[in-house]
């Protein structure tokens, strides 16, 4: 079967992203939530989406576990598989942004190089990296899925923060310390940023 990309041509649509943004009356972008397991990425993304929905903003959440149960169920947790996981998520997020949707991507995405790769898929200002900054000790205390306990017992290999590295963002658009601030305060900061950047 022929799979070479040399025989493919990108089909350009008559309706552009700008047209969809105009119809929606807001800009589209990706809010890329990155942080340790248990840091509050999904919880925060859900709260932000709720507030955006109340404002009439078209949104969609891409969550780490959900994506691995479907699109990326053939991937493991090696560095190579994590890179491919992020590449696919970046491509899906890019499609959502092109469709005029404000997409909230909540993934550990532990490697800075992989997040940088995802950023290159978007126009300037469309990739908003949100470091959900929470101390490992607090994440372990929360341990909502019991994963840290399993990782400490050697039941889970390549677990970020325990047996695999997490490279914190050097210069994220937003640094949200969920161990210090409430869910409402954290979400408010993100909404204020989107207003400041004239996305909303």
Annotated binding-site positions: 35-42
DSSP-H helix ranges across the chain:
17-24, 41-54, 64-69, 79-98, 112-119, 136-142, 147-152, 183-196
User: Which of 33, 100, 91, 21 shows the shortest CA–CA distance to 64?
Assistant: 33
109 in active site: yes
Cβ-contact 26, 102 below 8 angstroms: yes
Determine how many CB atoms are found less than 10 A away from the CB of residue 82. 21
Residue stretches of the annotated binding site for ATP: 35-42
Cβ-contact 101, 60 below 8 angstroms: yes
From the candidates 105, 109, 171, 186, which is the catalytic residue? Answer: 109
Q: Which conformational region is residue 16 in: left (phi greater than 0), alpha (psi within -120 to 50 degrees), or beta?
A: beta
Rounded Cα–Cα distance for residues 177 and 125 (Å): 22
For strands 102-106 and 127-133, give the pairing.
unpaired
Give residues with Cβ within 8 angstroms of 118, minimum separation 6.
32, 86, 87, 89, 90, 93, 109, 127
Give the catalytic positions in this structure. Answer: 109
């Amino acid at each position: 079967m022929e799979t070479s990309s040399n025989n493919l041509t990108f089909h350009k649509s008559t309706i552009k992203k700008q047209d969809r943004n105009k119809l929606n009356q807001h800009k589209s972008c990706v809010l890329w939530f990155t942080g340790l397991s248990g840091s509050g990425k999904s919880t925060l993304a859900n709260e932000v989406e709720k507030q955006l929905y109340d404002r009439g903003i078209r949104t969609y959440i891409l969550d780490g576990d959900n994506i691995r149960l479907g699109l990326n169920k053939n991937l493991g947790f090696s560095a190579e598989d994590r890179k491919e996981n992020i590449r696919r998520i970046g491509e899906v997020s890019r499609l959502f942004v092109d469709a005029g949707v404000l997409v909230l991507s909540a993934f550990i995405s532990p490697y800075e190089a992989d997040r940088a790769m995802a950023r290159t898929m978007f126009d300037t200002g469309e990739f908003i990296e949100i470091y959900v900054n929470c101390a490992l000790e607090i994440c372990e205390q929360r341990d909502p899925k019991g994963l840290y306990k399993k990782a400490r017992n050697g039941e889970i290999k390549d677990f970020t923060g325990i047996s695999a590295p997490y490279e914190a963002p050097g210069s994220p658009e937003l640094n949200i310390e969920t161990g210090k601030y409430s869910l409402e305060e954290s979400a408010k900061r993100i909404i204020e940023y989107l207003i400041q950047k004239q996305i909303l």
